[in-house]
Amino acid sequence: MILKQHDLAPVPYVLFCCISVGDLNHLISATMSGVTCCLRFPGQLNSDLRKLAVNLIPFPRLHFFMVGFAPLTSRGSQQYRSLTVPELTQQMWDSKNMMCAADPRHGRYLTASAMFRGKMSTKEVDEQMINVQNKNSSYFVEWIPNNVKSSVCDIPPRGLKMSSTFIGNSTSIQEMFRRVSEQFTAMFRRKAFLHWYTGEGMDEMEFTEAESNMNDLVAEYQQYQDATIDEEEYEEEEEEEHDA
């Protein structure tokens, strides 16, 4: 996946003084390492990619995740920082720590997963996750109870005593899709660069279908963002009657 500058979330000022491509690569690799750490190392409360897929995707089409990482510090200062689970949790859920330019506060979380690395208490991790859900209940859909999964890997990343990686299935991801759709529409209406694709055998209708598909995806995210428990129960009853 190729990320453009406007698709990246704003990085805290502490990183802007001497930011480089190496720093960005380090940040991306640290995040990917955090996502897959439970596959590679032992842990008290481990996970794997299959469990992530089962717990994070409530509907087949809504499988686009936002990822975040904490702590966000320059590489040179990592070894001098002392971290706590509450501090990691606070940073991890902060919109500034997200890796895509979509603000979670503009949507609601369908599901989320928090992966901690380092020596820490699983009890403290669970307590922090419960506190987050209780204090920010309006940012979570009410019709999926207990929708935050946590896992703990005993092996910390290099240069840190502990870290946390966040994966969230938030309806606010539609902000990025809307932005891409608007940019595509502006170019497609002028048929910019279209001849390069039609010359290779593609049909113009394929682009129209792709645009429609993305608009449908945005509408589906918005539908589940606005959904309530009563609506979900009504839909389930209708499905049961239809099956009968």
Residues 11-55 have pLDDT tens digits of 444 445 567 888 888 889 999 999 988 888 876 666 778 888 888
Q: Which of 70, 77, 74 is nearest to 95 (CA)?
A: 70
Strands (E), 78-189: 109-118, 148-153, 162-170
Q: Give me the half-sphere count of Cα atoms (radius 13 Å) on the Cβ side of residue 157.
A: 25
Buried b (16+ CB within 10 A) or exposed e, 122-132: eeebeebbeeb
CATH 3.30.1330.20 domain range(s) in the chain: 5-171
Q: Which residue has the tokens 């403290």?
A: 124
CATH, domain 5-171, list 3.30.1330.20, 3.30.930.10, 3.40.50.11540, 3.40.630.10: 3.30.1330.20
Please state whether the predicted TM-score (pTM) of the whole model is above 0.95: no
Q: Which of 169, 188, 145, 190 is nearest to 60 (CA)?
A: 169
Please tell me the distance from the alpha carbon of residue 1 to that of residue 69, in angstroms, as a whole number.
18
CATH 1.10.287.600 domain range(s) in the chain: 176-243
pLDDT in tens, 147-190: 999 989 888 988 888 999 999 999 999 999 999 999 999 999 99
CATH superfamily assigned to domain 176-243: Helix hairpin bin (1.10.287.600)
